[in-house]
Amino acid sequence: MPEDKRYSRQSLIPGWDQTTLDSSTVILVGVGAIGSYVATILASSGIGKLVIIEFDTIELSNLNRQLLFRDEDLGKPKAEVASKRLKEINPKIEIEFYHKKMEEVNVSVYEGADVIIGCLDTFIGRRWISSMALRVKKPLILGGMFAFLGDVQVIIPYKTACFECQPLVSDEELAQACTPFGEERKKEREEEEEEAKLPAVATLSSIIGGMMAQESLKLILELGAPLENYMFYDGLNNATTIIPLARTEDCPACGELYKLEQIEFIAHPTETIKDLLFRLALTYGLEKPDLMVEGKLLNSESIVENQLKEKSIAYILDKNLAKPIKIVIKIEKL
């Protein structure tokens, strides 16, 4: 059969099972530089279904490394153009795309994945997709780059360290996440992000994207050993450092301790819910959290003792969290 011929060379690899690959779904969040390489490799390798989630549009400064895009595509949605090009590369695979923010894509889409791949350049974005991977219990591969430096992380929910267990982020970014934003600051940040021009070169996109695609193929085909579980790559010095991150028992996202005993959070009886939310935002690095008790959102102007009791179970909701954090309220004795 002619189709067999398309995959005949990779099928020579011991353990390679094209039928398994053909019935697998990968969700790719972010089809910029790294994502372009991941998508191209998975499409040409014959992944059954590729779901692309990307909100951005194509700019001239993308073209030095985002190999799926051309001059004629400027201003068009990346998700749509990428899907078209990938179909040309391999018409046999199924492609679904969402020109949307990942937070707006229905959870059922994520549930359909065999592997989720996140090519996201912000701490907040990585944190959100990690939280979603835990929620739907799907393996997640994260990757990023900065000039000739790159990193890849493989997260197997509840087996290996999640993004919250040991967040490897700069102090600057941590500090940012720990400051709840007002509307003005949010606007300013959005403008900053639009302005932010990170150095990026195609060689790194292809190396990191290649490694991410390879890790996803290994997971799907159960070949070799998955990356354990964070790799840092320095292209200028050809140095690869692998750091086996450990899960932390008290991780608020995946920790056993949290699952068994839940997190206690101290509330003062006379403070407002707003004050409590402010402390929750600082503790968990959230933007604008809400607190839900017995299915109802609490009014931020109300007083703690009128809304919460000792051992009340509350859920923290926030756009930075795909999965609510469950806490047990401990009322401070006056």
Q: List interacting residues with Zn ion (CB under 5 A).
A: 162, 164-165, 251, 253-254
Residue placing its CB nearer to Zn ion in the complex, 68 or 162? 162
Does residue 140 contact residue 116 with C-beta atoms inside 8 Å?
yes
Q: Which listed residue (119, 178, 251, 254) is catalytic? A: 178
Residue 157 CB, nearest approach to Zn ion (Å): 9
Instruction: Please write down the HEC assignment for all residues of the chain.
Output: CHHHHHCCCHHHCCCCCHHHHHCCEEEEECCCHHHHHHHHHHHHHCCCEEEEECCCECCHHHCCCCCCCCHHHCCCEHHHHHHHHHHHHCCCCEEEEECCCHHHCCHHHHHCCCEEEECCCCHHHHHHHHHHHHHHCCCEEEEEEEECEEEEEEECCCCCCCCCCCCCCCHHHHHHHCCCCCHHHHHHHHHHHHHCCCCECHHHHHHHHHHHHHHHHHHHHCCCCCCCCEEEEECCCCEEEEECCCCCCCCCCCCHHHHHHCEEEEECCCCEHHHHHHHHHHHHCCCCCEEEECCEECCCCCEHHHHCCCCCEEEEECCCCCCCEEEEEEECCC
Query: How near is the Cβ of 247 to Zn ion at its closest, in Å?
Result: 6
Nearest approach, Cβ of residue 153 and Zn ion (Å): 12
Cβ proximity to Zn ion: between 93 and 251 the closer is 251
Q: In terms of CB distance, is 146 or 158 closer to Zn ion?
A: 158
**Residue 165 Cβ vs Zn ion, minimum distance, rounded to whole Å:** 3
Minimum separation from the CB atom of position 181 to Zn ion (A) = 24
**Nearest to Zn ion of 95, 165 (CB atom):** 165
We find the least distance from the C-beta atom of residue 73 to Zn ion, in angstroms, to be 38
Alpha carbon distance 133, 125 (integer Å): 12
- 254 or 281: CB nearest Zn ion: 254
Active site residue 178: yes
| CB-nearer residue toward Zn ion: 74 or 257 | 257
CA distance 324 to 321: 6
- Which residues carry out catalysis? 178
